[in-house]
Amino acid sequence: MQTGPSAVTAHCLSPAKVNLCLRIVGRRADGYHLLDSIFAAIDFCDRIDVRVTDVRPDRDVRVQIRCDRRDVPSDATNLAARAASMLLAECGLGGDVDLSIAKRIPPGAGLGGGSSNAATVLNVMNEHLRLAVAPTRLHALALALGADVPFFLTGGCARVRGIGERIEPIRGWPGRALVIALPPVSVATSWAFRTYTAGLFPEADEALRMASQEAPDPSLLRNDLETVVLPNHPEIARLKASLVASGAAGAVMSGSGSAVVGLVTDGQSADAVASALRTRHPEAGIHVARILAANDIPSVDPTASYA
């Protein structure tokens, strides 16, 4: 039964994530790879304007989506659009949903932009429409949308295992600066996993060890997918090497790429590393970002307006 407002407008930011460690530890019978990874949400964000109107039972869900990038779906296949439809259907409701996405997180970068957009829509609509979907059920809906979506419901830092469903929040490193390097190339996640042949590492313990540390250890930065992505995209390999040459204590590809993350230790200047990297790679997008604490999701408009 609908008990909340029938219309809501909210303006929110949708953060990216980085993988500081990604080990492939197994494979399910259905072909999905099992991971042991360290996720960290960062203050490098898309903006989503959400407007929902005429919410009531016994009517269809109609979603209109607009995005400022042509390589992002603007139809029902968009994860954010699917999230809106799924959530209203879960509650036996229909309504008109209008989503406008200003992308800063490029697709095919391994930063989880589409997954974050979906989780943001789930959170915003559940909260502001007062749908009262329980966290465990919201997690299940998120997982049905994609492996990375559940993490973004809370963000922060976490050790993520399985195909993304086993999320163990860790204290993490809120406020720590990272350098994010974006080469002018995208990598399809499905291609990276399909092509990966380097093996399985059930004994891998880097993620476990990193999760207990007060500061991320550069020696534990590892991404097994680099074995397939870097040989096929040498520009990503060069960018990774240049991050270290520019002063980063260590560097690692995020997710299935193409973004590379530079770790800046205490006493180092992230801005200085970023400046040196821009000189070496003017073709790349170079950004300084900071790790967010759990549930610390920036907002451009923390209070929604209601009809």
pLDDT for residue 300 is more than 90: no
pTM of the model: 0.94
| Contact between 256 and 226 (Cβ < 8 Å) | no
Both 210 and 77 in a single domain? no
pLDDT for residue 1 is more than 60: no
Of residues 243 and 2, more confidently modeled: 243
**What's the rounded Cα separation, in Å, for the pair 76 and 132?**
24
Residue 164: Cβ within 10 Å count: 21
pLDDT for residue 24 is more than 60: yes
**What's the rounded Cα separation, in Å, for the pair 42 and 211?**
17
| Average of per-residue pLDDT across 230-236 | 97
Q: pLDDT per residue over 165-175, tens digit each? A: 999 999 999 99
Both 139 and 241 in a single domain? no
- Average pLDDT of the chain is 94
| Average of per-residue pLDDT across 11-29 | 96
Range of the domain at 283: 172-290
pLDDT for residue 2 is more than 70: no
The domain total for the chain is 2
- Kindly report the CATH number assigned to the domain that includes residue 165: 3.30.230.10
Active site includes 17?
A: yes
Q: pLDDT per residue over 182-200, tens digit each? A: 999 999 999 999 999 999 9
Q: What is the pLDDT of residue 146?
A: 95
Q: Which of 17, 36, 46, 240 is catalytic?
A: 17
Q: Which of 169, 197, 226 is the last residue of a domain?
A: 169
pLDDT for residue 101 is more than 60: yes
Q: Which of 103, 148, 224, 240 is catalytic?
A: 148
Of 293, 3, 297, 2, residue with least CA distance to 124? 297
Both 16 and 102 in a single domain? yes
Both 81 and 38 in a single domain? yes
**What's the rounded Cα separation, in Å, for the pair 2 and 8?**
14
Active site includes 148?
A: yes
- Kindly report the CATH number assigned to the domain that includes residue 263: 3.30.70.890
Both 34 and 141 in a single domain? yes
Both 155 and 235 in a single domain? no
pLDDT for residue 305 is more than 80: no
Q: pLDDT per residue over 50-62, tens digit each? A: 999 999 998 999 9
Residue where the block lists tokens 């397939």: 228
Q: Is residue 295 part of a domain?
A: no
Q: What is the 3-state secondary structure (H, E, C) of 69-91?
A: CCCCCCCCCCHHHHHHHHHHHHC
Q: What is the pLDDT of residue 5?
A: 80
pLDDT for residue 304 is more than 80: no
Q: Which of 154, 169, 184 is the last residue of a domain?
A: 169
| Average of per-residue pLDDT across 208-229 | 96
Q: Is residue 300 part of a domain?
A: no
Q: Is residue 187 part of a domain?
A: yes
Both 27 and 143 in a single domain? yes
Q: pLDDT per residue over 136-152, tens digit each? A: 999 999 999 999 999 99
Both 189 and 114 in a single domain? no
Both 140 and 198 in a single domain? no
| Contact between 264 and 178 (Cβ < 8 Å) | yes
Residue 183: both structure tokens together: 């080469």
- E strands present in the chain: 8-27, 33-57, 61-67, 93-102, 157-162, 166-170, 177-182, 222-223, 250-253, 260-263, 285-290, 301-306
Question: 272 falls in which pLDDT band (50, 70, 90)?
Answer: very high
Encoded amino acid at 246, one letter:
S
Both 109 and 184 in a single domain? no
Q: Is residue 64 part of a domain?
A: yes
Q: Is residue 301 part of a domain?
A: no
Both 116 and 188 in a single domain? no
Q: Is residue 103 part of a domain?
A: yes
> 212 to each of 15, 175, 221, 281, how far by Cα in Å?
24, 17, 14, 34
Percentage with pLDDT > 90 across the chain: 90
Both 39 and 152 in a single domain? yes
